[in-house]
Amino acid sequence: MEIKLTKDRKLTLGGKRRKRRGKLDITGVDLVPVEGKGCPAVRIVEKKGVLRLLAAGYVPAPSDPVPDSWEAAAKSCTWAFPTQFQSPAAALAVSSPDVFVAQTTLSALKSDISSGTHNKQESAASAGSRRIGLRREPRPAAQQATPSAPSDIAEPKPGVPVSNGGMRFVMRPLDGSDGFILEAGLPEYQALWYSRLLPEGRRPTAVSIQPRQAAIASCPVLQKAFSEAGGDVLALFADTGHFSIAGYKGGSMVLLRECRVGGGMSSIAEKLKKGLGLDDEMLSSALDDNLIDPRPVLDPLVAPIIDELSASKDYLSGKLGCEPKAVIVSGVDVGFSHWSSFCEERMRLKMARLDVFEGLLGVPPQCAGDFLVATGAALAVIGEEEAS
Amino acid sequence: MMTKTCHLNLLMDSERVSSSPVRLRIMLPTAAILVSVSMAIWWLILTGQDILAKTQMSNLRDDMERHQAENAKAIADAEMADELQSQLEQLEGYGESCKRRWSETLASLAEVMPLKVQLTKFEIPAPPPQVLSFVTVQKGKKRTVKLWGPTNKTESVSMVIAGRTPKETPVISLMESLEGDAFTNSIVIAKDPRNPNPSPKVRSFRQDIPQRGEGSRMLAFEIEYTAKERRFAK
Amino acid sequence: MNLGGMAPNSRRSALVTMAFSLLAAGIYFLAVSPTKTRLEKSSKALSDHRARHATVMKNLASSGTVAKRIEETESALKPFRDAMLEPLLESLAMRAKSLVDAMAQEAGLADLEYEALGQRALPVPGRMPRQLHSREPIRITARGSYQAAASFLMRLERDMPLVALEALSITAVQATPETQRVEMILEWPVKGAVTRQ
């Protein structure tokens, strides 16, 4: 609120967001539950630049599944957290077939909006040629929710979500990325469902709804290898079903894309087991203890991924003038040494394993890999608060 | 310290809610409604008090009107009582001043008068005229203020005895007699030479022209005594 | 504050808050404050009335006592009123003569002459009455002996205790040694000035 004191002077009261004072206490939650355990959650407290891990564990999943229609979303569902996770704020990392993260340009985005093809599933494929990164799957048309103001849609502001045509989306520029933006979106009814999951008046309440793919991209920033490389790194996120590659220049993310080859770690593991004739138990000891040489079988599986990394490295150095000095990998729990040596041979880059809880004071739990997304979600909010 | 992260937040600001059980969007309207209701109740209470005060005032006024005549009479009676009391006080003061018994003094004087003294005059002089006004200066102007009565409640009285005698001794004897008990209630004896008003005060003691049949030497004397003052108060 | 940008709940909350705040302010300034002022005046007036009523009741309660006091005072004033000198044929000297002449002659005084002198004020009491009293000096000159004068005074003091001797002069007359010139001023109480209407 502005009050005009004199002709030249005015006083601004309030504002969109108050300056945070004191500590930031946030719980990051991955809404994709781990089978038999629940949704991974971490509670991190940031005070005067020091990050402390207060709790890490599993929260029972919400009683209702993520809705896939307006009718299903109309039924409200509330979620209660255990005491150790009852921080004031919570960052939710969401995933569904309707959630997308895509790297594109602002002009392409505006063009899509103005032509009315932004939210139409038929144009998803045709628009894909101008998008680099994660492919957005076409989805059925969603019902209209409360649309945002036309000016907001025509000129979307960085970090400000807008609703249009039944979808809610948000964009952020990728600094130093030669005009690219990162766009994320999900159906409006799902956004409303997630926003009502944590009710008012009870701890925690939601301060962030992020796609999982974007949340994990915040994890590498605390790694030692990240700071040693001066923030010029590539990150490889290996998931069961796919790989993602993120590029960082000077600490800021400039690239995020899905790696279409490889099929995910579970696919590679299956092929390894088949190729080496080993079961799960033997596979990890065979690879990690160097009992056998897996390279004849492993290299063809890893090579495409390393090639993708190499292509991203070339993109960073060629287009953005950034020479990555390290590769940070997460999700490669088995045979990491082989991956690392392969990467050094082909790319002349050191590969470092991403320690989920590196940079956080406190006792990390076991199965740290389960908490990658939750930690990333929390760090994304903390990082944005610090920057503001 | 953390570097900048790319936070893609799909939660709108309007959907952010407070985790505090104290919700301002509930508390503020509730407080505003409570304040309004309190103001209304306050107003009703004040109005009630005002009406009550006015009713009581009206009742008192009616009661006073009913008793107006009686009250006027009571006030008049009280004033009359005060008036009569004041008159009585003044007259009683006068009454006190009338209690002097000069007849006794005269009779006693006759008894103590020596044979050789011929009384030529016995006098109780009249008091001086009363001065019942005085001049005062107020704001540079002279003002004459009149009094309703003397401020002093006593009047001084004196007694003068004049006579003739062939010698001093009878006079001295007379004077000694006048100092006796018979005259204690009527005259004041004050012989201290430092006293500005001594009593007795010999006004004159001189040789007198002898008359036919008398001896060659006669002395005339006049002695003034201060008498007990007249008191106009009980 | 941008109401348009708020969530519906928050907007409703803000509007309700503003509306009731305005209402509260309106009630205070338009109703409560004037009523408070009126009540203060009423209370003051009521306390004045109560004081006056209490005085009235007190007056009425004491009326019996006052009547008794009047009776007693009148009774105490009677001797003074009886002794007051009233003019006879518009002359106070005539009245005095009528009162004391026989007594004086009986005592042996002769050639009595009476003269009324100017009133002498009496000291005023603590509370100024409406009707003041003063004393009327009457000069009586006569011829008679010392004993006659003393006898007259004695009878006067006995029979008329409220007549005071103001001044006395018994002077020997050379021509008649047995008879002196007697001059006395006697005071009678009289009604004096009226101090107020």
pLDDT tens sequence across A116-174: 656 544 334 333 333 334 444 443 444 444 556 665 566 778 889 998 888 899 998 88
Helices vs. strands in chain B: H and E counts, helices first: 4, 7
CB atoms within 10 A of CB A97: 9
Is the CB of B25 less than 8 angstroms away from the CB of C35? no
B81 near C CB under 8 A: yes
Percent of chain B with pLDDT over 70: 95
Contacts of B233 in chain C (CB under 8 A): 123
Contacts of B103 in chain C (CB under 8 A): 150-151, 153-154, 156-157
Is the CB of B19 less than 8 angstroms away from the CB of A205? yes
pLDDT of residue A149: 60
> Top-level CATH class of A224-354?
alpha beta
Given pLDDT bands bounded at 50, 70 and 90, which one contains residue A319? Answer: confident
- Of B55, B76, B94, which closes a domain? B94
Q: Distance (Å, rounded) from C-alpha C73 to C-alpha C54? A: 27
| Cα–Cα nearest to C160, from A203, A207, B95, A242 | B95
pLDDT at C6 over 80: no
Sheet of strand A39-47, all strands in order from the earlier edge strand to the far edge: A50-59, A39-47, A24-30, A89-94, A205-211
Given pLDDT bands bounded at 50, 70 and 90, which one contains residue B58? Answer: very high
B3 near A CB under 8 A: yes
Q: Which residue of C has its CA nearest to B122?
A: C170
Region of B170 (left: φ > 0; alpha: ψ -120 to 50; beta: rest) is alpha
Whether residue B36 is found in the same domain as residue B128: no
Contact B74, C63 (CB under 8 A): yes
Whether residue B85 is found in the same domain as residue B39: yes
Q: Could you tell me if residue B4 is inside a domain?
A: no
pLDDT of residue A151: 59
Quote the DSSP letter at residue A178.
Answer: T
pLDDT at A111 over 90: no
Is the CB of A161 less than 8 angstroms away from the CB of B11? yes
Q: Which H/E stretch holds residue A28?
A: strand A24-30
Mean pLDDT of B2-30: 83
What is the dihedral angle through the alpha carbons of B26, B28, B33, B38, rounded to the nearest 10 degrees? 130
B4 near A CB under 8 A: yes
| Cα–Cα nearest to A127, from A150, A110, A147, A144 | A110
Which tokens in the block code for residue C86? 């009233």
Chain B contact probe: residue of C139, C170, C180 with most B CBs at under 10 A: C170
Q: Which residue of B has its CA nearest to A91?
A: B9
Q: At A118, is the secondary structure helix, strand, or coil?
A: coil
Contacts of A185 in chain B (CB under 8 A): 10
Which tokens in the block code for residue A254? 């400039």
Percent of chain A with pLDDT over 70: 80
Mean pLDDT lowest among B55-59, B102-106, B216-220: B216-220
CATH code at position B198 = 3.30.70
pLDDT of residue A132: 38
Chain B contact probe: residue of C12, C80, C155 with most B CBs at under 10 A: C80
Q: Distance (Å, rounded) from C-alpha A37 to C-alpha A165? A: 37
User: pLDDT tens for residues A267-316?
Assistant: 888 888 888 777 777 777 766 666 677 777 778 888 888 888 999 999 88
Contact B223, B201 (CB under 8 A): yes
Angle (CA) B20-B25-B26 rounded to 5° is 85
User: Which chains are within 8 Å of C by 3+ CB pairs?
Assistant: B
Q: Distance (Å, rounded) from C-alpha A4 to C-alpha A26? A: 37
Q: Distance (Å, rounded) from C-alpha C82 to C-alpha C188? A: 11
Angle (CA) A155-A156-A159 rounded to 5° is 155
Q: Could you tell me if residue B10 is inside a domain?
A: no
User: pLDDT tens for residues A354-382?
Assistant: 999 988 998 888 888 899 999 999 999 99
Q: Could you tell me if residue B56 is inside a domain?
A: yes
Is the CB of B6 less than 8 angstroms away from the CB of A206? no
User: pLDDT tens for residues C34-79?
Assistant: 999 999 999 999 999 999 999 999 999 999 999 999 999 999 999 9
Q: From the CA of A229, how many Å to the nearest CA of chain B? A: 13
Is the CB of A208 less than 8 angstroms away from the CB of B13? no
C20 near B CB under 8 A: yes
Percent of chain A with pLDDT over 90: 31
Is the CB of C53 less than 8 angstroms away from the CB of B149? no
Q: Could you tell me if residue B5 is inside a domain?
A: no
Quote the DSSP letter at residue A17.
Answer: S
How do B133-138 and C120-121 pair as beta strands? unpaired
Contact A39, A56 (CB under 8 A): no
Is the CB of A252 less than 8 angstroms away from the CB of B10? no
Whether residue B109 is found in the same domain as residue B59: no
pLDDT of residue A129: 36
- Of B43, B74, B94, which closes a domain? B94
Mean pLDDT of C129-134: 95
Residue B70: give the domain boundaries.
27-94
C37 near B CB under 8 A: no
Angle (CA) C178-C184-C186 rounded to 5° is 145
Whether residue B114 is found in the same domain as residue B75: no
pLDDT of residue A277: 79
Partner-chain residue, chosen from C69, C122, C167, that has the shortest CB–CB distance to B90: C122
Contact B221, B183 (CB under 8 A): no
Contact A138, A121 (CB under 8 A): yes
Mean pLDDT of C101-126: 94
Q: Could you tell me if residue B47 is inside a domain?
A: yes
Mean pLDDT of B196-205: 87
Whether residue B66 is found in the same domain as residue B149: no
Whether residue B67 is found in the same domain as residue B114: no
pLDDT of residue A144: 44
B14 near A CB under 8 A: no
Q: From the CA of C88, how many Å to the nearest CA of chain B? A: 22
Q: Which residue of B has its CA nearest to C7?
A: B14
How do C120-121 and C131-144 pair as beta strands? antiparallel
Q: Distance (Å, rounded) from C-alpha A378 to C-alpha A385? A: 11
What is the ipTM for the molecules in this complex?
0.82
Whether residue B210 is found in the same domain as residue B110: yes
What is the residue-averaged pLDDT of chain A?
81
Q: Could you tell me if residue B123 is inside a domain?
A: yes
Q: Could you tell me if residue B57 is inside a domain?
A: yes
C33 near B CB under 8 A: no
CB atoms within 10 A of CB A204: 23
Whether residue B119 is found in the same domain as residue B226: yes
pLDDT of residue A138: 40
- Of B53, B71, B94, which closes a domain? B94
Chain C contact probe: residue of B65, B71, B109, B228 with most C CBs at under 10 A: B71
pLDDT of residue A143: 44
Q: From the CA of C158, how many Å to the nearest CA of chain B? A: 10
Whether residue B81 is found in the same domain as residue B113: no
Is the CB of C62 less than 8 angstroms away from the CB of B74? yes
**Considering its fold, how many domains does chain B have in total?**
2
Mean pLDDT lowest among A17-21, A309-313, B92-96, B126-130: A17-21
pLDDT of residue A15: 54
Contacts of B74 in chain C (CB under 8 A): 59-60, 62-63, 66
Mean pLDDT lowest among A358-367, C1-10, C21-30: C1-10
Is the CB of B3 less than 8 angstroms away from the CB of A252? yes
Whether residue B86 is found in the same domain as residue B144: no
Contacts of B21 in chain A (CB under 8 A): 201-202
| Cα–Cα nearest to A169, from A244, A108, A98 | A98
- pTM of the predicted protein model: 0.55
Q: At B198, is the secondary structure helix, strand, or coil?
A: coil
User: Which chains are within 8 Å of B by 3+ CB pairs?
Assistant: A, C
Q: Is the peptide bond before B200 cis (omega within 30 degrees of 0)?
A: yes
- Secondary-structure breakdown of chain A: helix, strand, coil percentages, each rounded to the nearest 5: 35, 25, 40
pLDDT of residue A13: 61
pLDDT of residue A142: 42
Q: Which H/E stretch holds residue C56?
A: helix C33-61
Contacts of C171 in chain B (CB under 8 A): 120-121, 123
pLDDT at A16 over 70: no
Contact A294, A338 (CB under 8 A): yes
Q: Distance (Å, rounded) from C-alpha B220 to C-alpha B120? A: 9
pLDDT of residue B45: 97
Whether residue B168 is found in the same domain as residue B203: yes
**How many pairs of residues across B and C have Cβ atoms under 8 Å apart?**
253
Contacts of C146 in chain B (CB under 8 A): 106, 110, 119, 122
Could you identify the residue written with the tokens 């799957």?
A: A137
Contact C144, C112 (CB under 8 A): no
Is the CB of A207 less than 8 angstroms away from the CB of B11? yes
Mean pLDDT lowest among A148-152, A327-331, C127-131: A148-152
Domain boundaries, chain A: 224-354
Q: Chain A window 29-88: which residues touch B at a Cβ cutoff of 8 Å?
A: 49, 51, 88
Q: Distance (Å, rounded) from C-alpha B156 to C-alpha B147? A: 20
Contacts of A169 in chain B (CB under 8 A): 10
Whether residue B53 is found in the same domain as residue B125: no
Q: Could you tell me if residue B22 is inside a domain?
A: no
Contacts of C107 in chain B (CB under 8 A): none
Q: From the CA of C126, how many Å to the nearest CA of chain B? A: 8
pLDDT at A8 over 80: no
Is the CB of B123 less than 8 angstroms away from the CB of C168? yes
pLDDT at C28 over 60: yes
